[in-house]
Structure formats: structure tokens, C-alpha cells
A and B are shown apart, each in its own frame.
Chain A
Amino acid sequence: MGKQSGSEMKILPGRRVEIWLGRSLGGLLLLGLYLLIERGGNAYLQRLTILFLINVMLVVSLNLFTGFTGVFSLGHIGFMALGAYASAILTMPVAMKAVNLPNLPLPLASIALPFLPALLLGGLTTMIIALLIGIPILRLSGHFVAVATLGFLIITRVVLINAEGFTRGTRTFTGVPPYTTLGWTALWALFNVYVAWRLKHSTLGLQLLAARDDPWGARGVGVAIGRVRLIAFGISAFFTGVAGGLWAHFLTAFSPNAFYFSKTFEIIVMMIVGGMGSVTGSVLGTLLVMSVTELLRNLEPGVAVGSFTLGPLYGLSQIGLAVLLILLTAFRRQGLLGDREFRLEATIERLGDWVRKARFSIKAPSAREADPLINELISKLSKR
């Protein structure tokens, strides 16, 4: 970190232009990609992109708590479930409620909210519940938090199965309007990544990282560890709840089985592949895991190798993911990015250096380039 901020202080005006150019280029690239997928008319690709963005939200939010605090949460899919059911109950048309949820209490039975307020309310409900359970849970530390949050996941499932008036119990919850579009998901995912990024580089984020790396030292300089962790837990739960709402209005039919261990492990794998504590790593990890799974899944029906066909190879995508994980734990335990970030600025700087160097090497012999004193002199001269 120290090295990075040092280099940032030395940013020169010329580089600033480069960085802004790069930023707007990156933004344009994302926008172009979005338009390409949105207007392209390939429903399969659109579905995958929506699923990817929802997973990005889940993984970034999980990382926002687990990565920044170093405390493992196994209960986040419980938050997703709460957000999903809460927002779906709010948006379902009144006539549909009379058929599907005849025992719903009155204020809920007679209203059907638009998408955005329902998502926000779903997220807020989840956040309030997270804060309530967070107060006792975050008094624990290390593995005990993992066990307690796992308990929360199991309790959530039992409540969902038994609160039949609200959830139809184990029966499939249907009649959810298909509101989730690529645009909604992209905006929410962008917002979520932005908040996580800003949080990591804020005072709160530094306090969280300090408390993670050296709890005694952090306490010594006045960090209220319990309080900052609770704030992170709440924000994380809010976005997880919203992601659940988006998922519910994307799939439109689900049951409590969808929110259990397999989904929990899925997002944990994505987080670990990307790197715990890295926001951009979460995005990369989700991208890698989903691409590998989807690519291999497409090979499952059979692969033509030369003149003969291999397959069918059902289960290949699961095996492939397991192999990826084993390789990762063997060769790169910290994940793709560890807890560092992919920084546009740093990349552009490196790219700029490379371009400058390439330009130089035509004029200057290599011996001179190797001499730091002469090198510096030349760079000063060339700036004029």
C-alpha cells in the first residue's frame, strides 16, 4: 500500500491526462459491452450476464464483510433468501396473492409495490435483521462467527419452511413478476462495487483492515472493532438482500432449497478464487468461476475430437471447478488478486512507462538507459 500511495503522489500532469483518458475509455468500453449484450438480442447471453452481475453483488458483499474483517460468514445466503422473499411478497400482484398466499396478513395482502421500492425495502429488512443478529454474533471472534452465522442460515431455512402464510413453506414460491432486466442488474452491481470500493479506501475501511491484521494494535489506536464490523455487516447484508430480490424477480419461481449450502459454497468459492479482501478480485473470481463452469457445461453433451466424439460427460463442470480449486490452493492460495486491487491508474502508468521506454530505446543505447542518473536526466530534459 505504501509503495502505491508513494507513486500516486508523484503523478505528473501528463500522466493525469493519460489516467483520465484511460478511465473514460474503460467506462466507454463497459458501456459498449453493455449495449452490445443488451441490444444483441441473444437471450442466453443476457441471462448469463444477469446471473453474473447478481453473483458479483453476492460475492462483493460477502467480501465486503468477510474479506475486510477476516471473519468468515456462512450466513450470507440467509440474507439473500430474506431479500428474495421480502421483495417478492411486496411486488406480487394482489390477485395472485389471493391464490398463492391466501393467509397473508392484511397490509401485505392488499398492496403490490413497484420494483425499486420493493428491492429497497427487501434490502432494508435484511439489513435490520443483520444488525439485530450482528450485535450478539460479532461479539464472538474467528471461527465462532462462522459457526454462529451458519446457525443463522439454518434458522432462516427453518423459518422459511414453517412461515407458510408468507412463503408457501417448502412449496415453490411462484407468481413473482419478471421485473429483473439487464439494466437494473447492471446499475445495482455497479453501485454495489462502487460502494465497496469507496468503503475499502475510507477511514472505516482502513479501520476494518487494521482490525483484521492486528486487532490489538487497532484497539490501541482507538478503533472500536465491534462497531466498525457491525457497520460492514449491515451494508453487506443490505446489498445481499437486494441481490436476492433481483434473483427472485429474475427466476420468478424458487423454494427454500435454493438458499442453502450449495449456493453458500458457490459464492465462497468465487470469493476465494478472486481473493479475499479484493473488490476487483471478487469480480474477476466470479467471472472466472462462471466462465469455466459454463464453458465446461457446454462441453458436457459431447466434444468432437477429430473424427470421434467424446462424451457425454455430465458432471464435467463440477469436476472442473473442483480441479480449479485444488490447483488454486496448491499454487496461489491468496486467490487471483489476494487482497490487492486491479487499479486502472497503476495499469495505465505501467503501460505509459512501457510506451515511453519503447520510444526511448530507439534513440538511446541500452547502456545509458541502464544508468539511473543519466536516465533521470534524460527524462527531465524530455519533459521540457
Chain B
Amino acid sequence: MRLLRPSGVLFLAFVLAVAACAPAATPTAAPATPTGGPPIRIGAPFNLTGGMASIDVPAANGARLAAEEINAAGGVLGRPLELLIRDTKTDPATAATVVTQLIEQDKVVAVIGFNDSDYVLAAGPICQRAGIPFITVGATSPRLPGQVGDMLFLTPFGDNVQAAVGAEFAFEKFGKTAYLLWDKGAEFTTVLAKYFKDRFTELGGSIVLEDTYQSGDKDFSAQIAKVKALPQQPDFYYISALPDDVGTIVKQFRNAGITGPIVGGDGYDTPLLIEVAGPAAENVFFTTHSLLTADSPNERVRKFVTAYKQKYGTEPEAVFAALGYDTVYVLAEAIRRAGSTDGQAIKKALESIRDFPAVTGVINYSPQSHIPQKGVTVIEVKGGKFTLAAERVPQKVPAP
């Protein structure tokens, strides 16, 4: 008995402390307007805290915006969508627990979420076993469907597609020789560099120097010294990097007097690139899902950017906001086509989707391919702004 008392006091104090903290958070209205049946529940696990938060929070915001728009327009099958957004703390074990809970307790009919394959691979098999469709918002590894199973779909293109476009674009525009640098501390950057090399050498290009670094490195002078020591500078520099490192790398390369074009993947699609690198970011090209600007020639993009700004008071922080938005619309369309909320029926309906107009391009699925064959946007940094350099599909895609 004596033992219990201090902990009892502790618990009470703790509860009080939590109660005191709670009201500080901002309240957000839960969606639900149309009536005509119980809401259709969709699980939406994201890493809202921790290392992935900078891209997962915009993705969750985009998804919430889409659900509210759909509900305002009457919902799906006469029923409102209820998006159950959950934080998985950038921890795969939590991701697995949360998804189990969403399926078992909340009885969701489908799950959307995550922008990195680590979390998709932890949560995906659980959905697969339960027969619940899972659409990943931003994980771009083309191997995911093979690793998880037939209930998994991707909203973005695969890394092999964007790497192929990067290689083809640079080969035509800049030339046959390239320098290749990648971050070996992450799966995405490693795989992207591999696909780029495959496609670029296939085209007849040659990599004059390959080098690596580790995510979080702050000093790239060793890599730069090796580039400077080359007898002749390559036509361009392909650097496969994560959003956090992009700005630093570009700035240090430029400061060392390397002025040639720098090419990269969708890791560059972050405000950090221009914020950190400043004028040094000029002559940087990268492949990504869409160019999100309020004055875009694409009407869907304009509409999305305006709606996002109206709801959250800021332009979309990352392109993943648009991917989250598109994912909910694609899923809603599949439920509408399926006419039911049965897992297998939704899966079949998703596989029948062709030419679906989304903010990040046109989405096609088929029973053979759960990765959409979408166009890739190439962006150039010009005058301190992201500008459209090209929109293209690859002529040939390296095998996953």
C-alpha cells in the first residue's frame, strides 16, 4: 500500500498537467455534412511528428482538404467521408500498431498515407492480410507493390520513372558526361542514383566520377575537392539528396566555383532549396510531381493552390500536399465506381481507373501495374523561383 501512494500522487499530478496543456492546441472541425448513411471511414496514418513531419504534415493537410471538398459536394454514395488522421511519430513500430488499430477497432474501409517506404513496408502487410486497400501518398519505390502485395497502390510515379526522365532530359539538354553524387544514408537517394545511372549509361552517357555522402553531413569539401581535381568538368552534376541537405550541397558546390547545371529528384522540391542556397540555386533542375503555383497554366493546380491557401493560410509547403489531395480523390472515385465499401471491390475499381485527372498529373492503374504511369515535371530554378522546364514521360524505364 505504501508503494502505491507516491505513484498515485504522480498520476494525479500528471493528469492535471495534461489537462492544463490540452486547451493550447488549435481545434479543427471534423468533417461530416452529407447525410444518407453512416460515414465511410478512411484510415490516414502520417508521421505528423518527428523527422518526416516536414513532408507528412502537408500531405495530411492536402488529404483533409480533399475530404472536406468531397463532403461539401455531397460525399460518396450519399455518405460523408470520415478521414481518421493519426500520428505515427516517424516510428515503424507505431505505424504498424496504428494501422492495426484503424482496421480492427475503427473498421476503416481503406488506408492512405506515408511518404517513405520504411513505414509503408511496416504497415502495408497488415492491410494486405486484412484485405484492405492501401494507397501510399508519397513513397516512390517501384518495388513496393512486389514487396507488399496486390492491395497496395501508389499515388506518385516510381523512382525509376523520375530518374529516367532526369537522365533523358539532361542527356539531351546538357550532354554525355555526368558527375554522380548520392546520399547513402537513405533508401530513396540510393535507389534514385542507381536508376539514373542505369538509364544514363544506356543512353550512351558516361559517369566520370561517382561519390557518396551521409544524410546530415554539413561539410562537402572532400567531395568538391575530388570534382575540382577532374581534368575536365562534366556536362552536368546529378546529385541525389534528401530535402534537408539539398540547400547546403548546392550552396557549397557553387561557392567552390562549380557553375554547371545541377540535376536532382523530388527531394529538391522544398522551400529550403531557395531559402538556404539563395542565388546559388540558379541553374538547378529537378524532377518532381507537379509545379504548384497560383499562376500555373494548369487549372486543377490553380484551383488546388487557391483552396489550400484559403484553408491553411499558406501556399502548399511541399508537393506532397497535392499528392495527399489526389490520393483522397482517387480513392473516392474508386469507392464510387465500386458502389460498395468492400475491400476487394475497391481494389478492383482502383485497377479500372484510367485517365483520372489529378493535380499531379493523369492517373492510370491496371491489374498489372499499381504504380500510375504519370508524366514527370522538370523544374528549373530561375530568378529565385521554381519555373517549369519540361513536362515529359520517359522513353524507357529501368526495371524496378
Q: Show the binding face of A for B, using Cβ within 8 Å.
A: 42-44, 47-48, 51, 161, 169-172, 174-175, 178, 247, 251-255, 257-258, 262, 288, 292, 296-297, 300-303, 308-320, 323-324, 327-328, 331-332, 336-337, 342, 350
Contact = CB atoms under 8 A, between A and B. Distances in A.
Contact of A258 (B7, B89, B92): B92
B186 A318 contact: no
B113 to A, nearest CB: 14
Contacts of A47: 96-97, 100
B53 to A, nearest CB: 9
Interface of B: 1, 3, 6-7, 9-10, 13-14, 17-18, 21-23, 25, 27-28, 30, 48-49, 84-87, 89, 91-94, 96-97, 100-101, 103-105, 117-118, 121-122, 125, 147, 184-187, 190-191
A161 B184 contact: yes
Contacts, number: 125
A166 B353 CA distance: 40
A169 B101 CA distance: 31
A169 B117 CA distance: 14
A43 B190 CA distance: 35
Given A172-B187, A175-B147, A310-B25, 18 more contacts: A43-B104, A44-B105, A170-B186, A174-B147, A252-B122, A253-B147, A255-B118, A258-B91, A297-B94, A301-B84, A309-B27, A311-B28, A313-B25, A314-B87, A315-B48, A323-B21, A324-B10, A336-B7
23 contacts: A43-B100, A44-B97, A44-B101, A161-B184, A171-B191, A251-B92, A251-B93, A252-B122, A255-B118, A258-B92, A258-B93, A288-B7, A297-B87, A300-B86, A302-B30, A310-B23, A310-B27, A311-B25, A313-B22, A313-B25, A317-B89, A327-B17, A331-B13
Contact of A318 (B49, B96, B100): B49
B130 to A, nearest CB: 9
Nearest to A337: B3
A309 to B, nearest CB: 7
B92 A253 contact: yes
Contacts of A332: 6-7, 10
B7 A253 contact: no
Given A172-B118, A327-B14, A314 B49 contact: yes
A336 B13 CA distance: 15
Nearest to B2: A350
A310 B185 CA distance: 39
A301 B85 contact: yes
Contact of A254 (B27, B87, B92, B190): B92
B14 A174 contact: no
A51 B187 CA distance: 26
Nearest to A319: B21
Given A170-B190, A257-B118, A252 B125 contact: yes
Given A172-B121, A316-B18, A331-B10, A51 B27 contact: no
Given A251-B122, A301-B85, A315-B49, A323 B96 contact: no
Contacts of B187: 170-172, 255
Contacts of B93: 51, 247, 251, 258
A130 to B, nearest CB: 24
Instruction: Report, nearest first, the 5 A-B pairs whose CB atoms are least far apart.
Output: A253-B121, A171-B187, A314-B87, A44-B101, A314-B48
Nearest to A252: B125
Contacts of A251: 92-93, 96, 122
B223 to A, nearest CB: 18
Contacts of A327: 10, 13-14, 17
A248 to B, nearest CB: 11
A51 B95 CA distance: 13
A255 B13 CA distance: 38
Nearest to B117: A172
Nearest to B10: A327
A328 B49 contact: no
Contact of B14 (A48, A257, A311, A324): A324
A257 B214 CA distance: 13
B187 to A, nearest CB: 4
